[in-house]
Amino acid sequence: MKCSNTIIPGYEDTSKIKNPGLEMKIKYDMRKSGETQVPTTVGTYRKVKAKYFPSVKSTDILDYGAGMGVASAEMGFDSLEPNASGWTPKYTDASQIKKKYKGIISNAVLNVIPNDMAQRDGVVQDIGNKLAVGGKAFINVRALKGDVDKAKNPTPFDDGHITAGKGTFQKGFNKPELVEYLQDILGGGFVVTKSPLGAVGALITKVKEVKVGDIETAKVFSKPGEMTIMLPGAGDIVLEKGGKYESIDGEWSVDTVGLSDEVKGKGLGVKLYLKAVEELLKMGEYRASYLSSGGMTTESAMRVWRSLYRNKEKHLKDFPQLRGAFTMFNNERGMIVHDNGPKEEWQYEQDIGSEPAYSIELYPDVYAKNVSRLSKRKGALDELPYFKADETQAPATAGSYEDTGVYYHGSSSATNIEGDWSTSDANIYGSGFYTTTSKEVAQSYTKKGRGSEPTVYRIKEINKGPSKNLETTPAKLYGRGLLDEYVELEGKSLIEALNEFRNDSSDFSLTRTDVIEIIDAVFDRLASKGYTSVTHHGGALTGNKTKHLVKIFLRPTRDIRLIKQ
């Protein structure tokens, strides 16, 4: 057989899904696909090995859906086959695989898997998860034209049909359709191209790691009165139409939520709830206007609701399109509490005549405006040709403010970067360690403090890394989700956005400490990409007429040492 009989790779049985009814909704018995196995595909495997994996060890290649195991036996590949007959594959369930493979071959697998409950999507996601960064996966499926469309008396089912003879599912593809489908399911961590091999072939290259449970991989499927949002390999949330207020148009409530043990405790529950909110907002006014926690809620679900309610702005950093698009209400104190819930959890029951524990009022019109605004911003970002290069290249020196590579720090008192050094909330650009290319400017700073030991230091970089220039870096690259709450980032450099944010901070009742923390959060993003410092032209704000370059070290105790002059 070519696939598992589970919805999501890693779920061996329905007990691992909080909504076992989902498994019953699959009308097609996945085990029937095992009857499509044939022993004549080994020729395709030989060609794929020679073209795409000539120097890859056979044990670093996985035959995903190995069928009768003929190719795996001949070529020494590791094999996955959930329903093998007459031979023993290395793996009988995708959840057993802990290794990342340099090569994966999936030959005539996806075409025998229906997708009415995202089963095929889950297999594609799992192939991506099992692939190492830099690795390649070859996918081959049957062609629609001249092959699958020639079936006699088929019964339409999902996006394919059930054959009249064996009663097995088949879906035919063409190459553009296959490539587009794989790229859509796998997302930005992968590059999918056509392959000349096989009937309808495609090649997947993994360019970066994509975590299981990434909210971007969520799949949504609906039927009248119900919506399920599923994260392959992670879990699902099921919403149902209706709730306490039968008279409210567009009322929805949470029916069940289930997360696999692998992703519990990682904040995915809140993201899944917010994804549900977004999907309802997409439906528009009247069709979706209200979401509640439902009549009975477990303690684990309540923890998610509480986190979303208490830390809404924090969680919305990953969902800027939802800002202002909903309001939350809390009635937890009005609930009846039981101690006999599932898994010995506390259970919260909505009393007759009371409000739900938590509810959300939806504003689809606000959401639509947010999406339009963010789309325009993204379009402007994509149109600037230097953005991608800016991520990989250290900035060139700007104008006549030459970066000499020699930096000084002036202070009115002795400074020990490894010991008693501390920052000030009066610093203009965050809490880093400020230096200058001008010894004269550094000397002037020895007179500005209250210390009694004026000292100039030369900087020795012990962990030299790339630096980012604030004048040449677009604000959008690092300010989104932080600065755009306070200032418009469109068309501005990072230093322009920082200056405007600092100048207007009092309008938002932000303290100096708040300002420093937000700027530090911006620079933390730079540090996470390997930058050790930022630079800007000195004197613009302080009135110093000496042209000099200011370099702010982001992790000074790690990256520099001070040499007294």
- Alpha carbons within 13 A on the beta-carbon side of 9: 27
Residues 277 and 180 in one domain: no
Evaluate whether 387 touches 477 at the Cβ level (below 8 Å): yes
Question: What pLDDT, on the 0 to 100 scale, is given for residue 61?
Answer: 96
Is 384 inside a domain boundary? Answer: no
Is 257 inside a domain boundary? Answer: yes
3-state helix, strand, coil in the chain (%, to 5): 35, 25, 45
H/E stretch holding 375 = helix 364-383
Residue among 87, 158, 80, 76 at smallest CA distance from 126 = 80
Residue among 428, 445, 444 at smallest CA distance from 536 = 428
Residues 28 and 64 in one domain: yes
| pLDDT over 50 at 13, yes or no | no
Structure token pair of residue 22: 């989902």
Evaluate whether 437 touches 548 at the Cβ level (below 8 Å): yes
Residue among 474, 520, 477 at smallest CA distance from 496 = 474
Give the residue from 167, 185, 206 where a domain finishes. Answer: 206
Residues 191 and 252 in one domain: no
Q: What is the mean pLDDT of residues 213-225?
A: 79
Question: What pLDDT, on the 0 to 100 scale, is given for residue 373?
Answer: 80
Residues 173 and 244 in one domain: no
Higher pLDDT, 486 or 272: 272
Evaluate whether 429 touches 534 at the Cβ level (below 8 Å): yes
Q: What is the mean pLDDT of residues 521-527?
A: 86
H/E stretch holding 138 = strand 131-141
Structure token pair of residue 232: 């392959």
Evaluate whether 289 touches 362 at the Cβ level (below 8 Å): yes
Residues 51 and 184 in one domain: yes
| Per-residue pLDDT band at 247 (split at 50, 70, 90) | low
Question: pLDDT tens digits for 326-383?
Answer: 999 988 888 888 776 555 678 788 777 778 888 899 999 999 988 888 776 555 444 4
Residues 522 and 469 in one domain: yes
Q: What is the mean pLDDT of residues 375-400?
A: 41
Is 402 inside a domain boundary? Answer: no
Evaluate whether 468 touches 553 at the Cβ level (below 8 Å): no
Question: What pLDDT, on the 0 to 100 scale, is given for residue 401?
Answer: 62
Per-residue DSSP letters for 432-476? Answer: SEEEES-HHHHHHHTTTSS-S--EEEEEEESS---EEETTTSBHH
Question: What pLDDT, on the 0 to 100 scale, is given for residue 24?
Answer: 32
Question: What pLDDT, on the 0 to 100 scale, is given for residue 33?
Answer: 52
Question: What pLDDT, on the 0 to 100 scale, is given for residue 275?
Answer: 93
Evaluate whether 147 touches 172 at the Cβ level (below 8 Å): yes
| Per-residue pLDDT band at 388 (split at 50, 70, 90) | very low
| pLDDT over 70 at 296, yes or no | yes
| Per-residue pLDDT band at 31 (split at 50, 70, 90) | low
- Alpha carbons within 13 A on the beta-carbon side of 23: 14
H/E stretch holding 528 = helix 512-528
Residues 356 and 502 in one domain: no
| pLDDT over 70 at 420, yes or no | no
Structural domain including 448 reads 408-564
Residues 201 and 219 in one domain: no
Evaluate whether 433 touches 457 at the Cβ level (below 8 Å): no
Question: What pLDDT, on the 0 to 100 scale, is given for residue 90?
Answer: 94
Residue among 233, 229, 256, 120 at smallest CA distance from 185 = 120
Higher pLDDT, 381 or 248: 248
Q: Can you list the alpha helix ranges (DSSP code H) found in 384-424?
A: 387-390
Question: What pLDDT, on the 0 to 100 scale, is given for residue 2?
Answer: 37
| Residue 501 to residues 91, 119, 424, 513, Cα–Cα distance (Å) | 56, 48, 18, 13
Q: What is the phi/psi pair of residue 289, to 5°? A: -135, -5
Give the residue from 163, 188, 206 where a domain finishes. Answer: 206
Residues making up the chain, counted from first to last: 565
Where are the strands (E) in 299-449, listed by range? 326-330, 335-338, 347-350, 358-362, 408-411, 433-436
Based on the structure, what is the number of domains in the chain? 3
In whole angstroms, what is the distance from residue 38 CA to residue 375 CA?
A: 48
Evaluate whether 298 touches 346 at the Cβ level (below 8 Å): yes
H/E stretch holding 526 = helix 512-528
CATH number at residue 62: 3.40.50.150
Is 271 inside a domain boundary? Answer: yes
284: burial class by Cβ within 10 Å (0-12, 13-18, 19+)? middle
Is 530 inside a domain boundary? Answer: yes
Q: Collapsing DSSP states into helix, strand and coil, what is residue 347?
A: strand
Q: What is the mean pLDDT of residues 232-243?
A: 80
Question: What pLDDT, on the 0 to 100 scale, is given for residue 233?
Answer: 65
Structure token pair of residue 405: 């590579």
Question: What pLDDT, on the 0 to 100 scale, is given for residue 29?
Answer: 57
Question: What pLDDT, on the 0 to 100 scale, is given for residue 21?
Answer: 36
In whole angstroms, what is the distance from residue 493 CA to residue 395 CA?
A: 13
| pLDDT over 80 at 542, yes or no | no
Residues 178 and 198 in one domain: yes
Question: What pLDDT, on the 0 to 100 scale, is given for residue 425?
Answer: 52
Q: Is the pTM of this model over 0.85?
A: no
Residues 193 and 278 in one domain: no
H/E stretch holding 162 = strand 160-162
Question: What pLDDT, on the 0 to 100 scale, is given for residue 130?
Answer: 93
Question: What pLDDT, on the 0 to 100 scale, is given for residue 391?
Answer: 35
Question: What pLDDT, on the 0 to 100 scale, is given for residue 537?
Answer: 86
Question: What pLDDT, on the 0 to 100 scale, is given for residue 1?
Answer: 36
Q: What is the mean pLDDT of residues 282-291?
A: 85
Q: What is the mean pLDDT of residues 413-430?
A: 65
Is 65 inside a domain boundary? Answer: yes
| Per-residue pLDDT band at 7 (split at 50, 70, 90) | very low
Residues 228 and 162 in one domain: no
| Per-residue pLDDT band at 55 (split at 50, 70, 90) | very high
In whole angstroms, what is the distance from residue 249 CA to residue 422 CA?
A: 57
Question: What pLDDT, on the 0 to 100 scale, is given for residue 518?
Answer: 85
| pLDDT over 50 at 389, yes or no | no
201: burial class by Cβ within 10 Å (0-12, 13-18, 19+)? buried
Percent of the chain scoring above 90 in pLDDT: 26
Question: What pLDDT, on the 0 to 100 scale, is given for residue 426?
Answer: 58
| Per-residue pLDDT band at 136 (split at 50, 70, 90) | very high
| pLDDT over 80 at 85, yes or no | yes
Which positions ≥6 away from 169 have C-beta within 8 Å?
Answer: 28, 32, 33, 112, 113, 114, 157, 158, 160, 161, 162, 163
Is 387 inside a domain boundary? Answer: no
Burial 326-365 (b: 16+ CB within 10 A, else e): beeebbbeebeeeeebeeebebbebeeeebbbbbbebbbe
Burial 2-37 (b: 16+ CB within 10 A, else e): bbbbbbbbbbbeeebbbbeebeeebebebebbbebb
Evaluate whether 215 touches 269 at the Cβ level (below 8 Å): no
Is 164 inside a domain boundary? Answer: yes
Give the residue from 150, 174, 206 where a domain finishes. Answer: 206
Higher pLDDT, 329 or 424: 329
Q: What is the phi/psi pair of residue 223, to 5°? A: -140, 165
Residues 84 and 226 in one domain: no
CATH number at residue 221: 3.40.630.30
Where are the strands (E) in 20-74, listed by range? 61-64
User: Please, what is the average pLDDT of the chain?
Assistant: 80
Higher pLDDT, 158 or 376: 158
